[in-house]
């Protein structure tokens, strides 16, 4: 069944030596009309050796599971050193520019979680009315967005573009994380993954020879 999709997310374990070359090539997407006009936003974690490639569509489009299977196969053919390749359809639920929207982000922080049964609506209200607007208002946050992952999950996919990693631990950020409402919601997160990624500009540095 096709799902209205804002972003197709490709996740894969990728060694560092091929990350920069991978992000510079979108030729392998040419055979996918449903992705025409899309923008590629690759991020990579040196800690987990994981690549998250967001394929952002210019407008919501129907994408089906067959499209995803073909995309996974094309990715694996073009980047054979990648492992654990999987693709998911994401629908945008919330998006806001941050206090530092005029600056270029260098890091991308992702929080993935499955709400405990019966808590999805309340967690969504908390995210959209308090948590994400509050974090977006912290200096150093360029953008805050939240998606639903229709495929591999976890269901909730919240992400933040940051100028520096230090934004994550600053007093203003921690104050937003430690509200009463936050304390009520966080125990109802399950299967939670929190990952700090480097954005494209940082990945390009991998192509430079060591001195």
Architecture per CATH, 92-198:
2-Layer Sandwich (3.30)
* Mean of pLDDT over the chain: 91
- Of all residues in the chain, the percent with pLDDT exceeding 90 is 80
Work out the average pLDDT over 86-103: 98
Sign of CA dihedral 130, 131, 137, 143: negative
Work out the average pLDDT over 185-190: 98
pLDDT digits (tens, 9 = 90+) for 22-69: 666 677 788 899 999 998 888 999 999 999 999 999 999 999 999 999
Better pLDDT: 17 or 93: 93
Matching fold, domains 3-91 and 92-198: yes
Confidence of residue 210 (pLDDT cuts 50, 70, 90): very low
pLDDT score of 23: 63
pLDDT exceeds cutoff 80 at 134: yes
Distances (CA, A) of 57 to 67, 141, 158, 187, 206: 14, 23, 18, 34, 27
Architecture per CATH, 3-91:
2-Layer Sandwich (3.30)
The residue ranges of DSSP E strands in 98-201, in sequence order, are 107-115, 141-149, 156-162, 189-198
Work out the average pLDDT over 10-27: 77
pLDDT score of 30: 82
pLDDT score of 12: 95
Domain extents in the chain: 3-91, 92-198
């Amino acid at each position: 069944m096709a799902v209205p999709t804002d972003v197709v997310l490709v996740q894969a374990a990728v060694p560092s030596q091929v990350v920069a070359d991978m992000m510079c090539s979108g030729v392998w997407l040419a055979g996918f009309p449903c992705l025409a006009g899309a923008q590629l936003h690759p991020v990579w974690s040196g800690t987990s050796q994981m690549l998250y490639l967001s394929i952002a569509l210019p407008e919501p489009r129907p994408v089906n599971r067959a499209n995803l299977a073909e995309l996974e196969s094309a990715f694996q053919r073009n980047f054979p050193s990648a492992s654990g390749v999987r693709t998911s359809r994401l629908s945008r639920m919330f998006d806001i520019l941050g206090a530092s929207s005029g600056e270029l982000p260098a890091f991308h922080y992702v929080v993935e979680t499955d709400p405990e049964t019966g808590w999805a609506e309340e967690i969504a209200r908390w995210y959209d009315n308090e948590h994400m607007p509050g974090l977006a208002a912290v200096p150093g946050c360029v953008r805050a967005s939240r998606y639903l992952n229709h495929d591999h999950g976890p269901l909730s996919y919240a992400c933040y573009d940051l100028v520096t990693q230090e934004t994550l631990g600053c007093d203003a950020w921690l104050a937003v994380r430690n509200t009463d409402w936050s304390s009520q919601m966080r125990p109802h997160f399950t299967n939670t993954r929190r990952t700090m990624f480097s954005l494209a500009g940082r990945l390009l540095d991998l192509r430079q020879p060591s001195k």
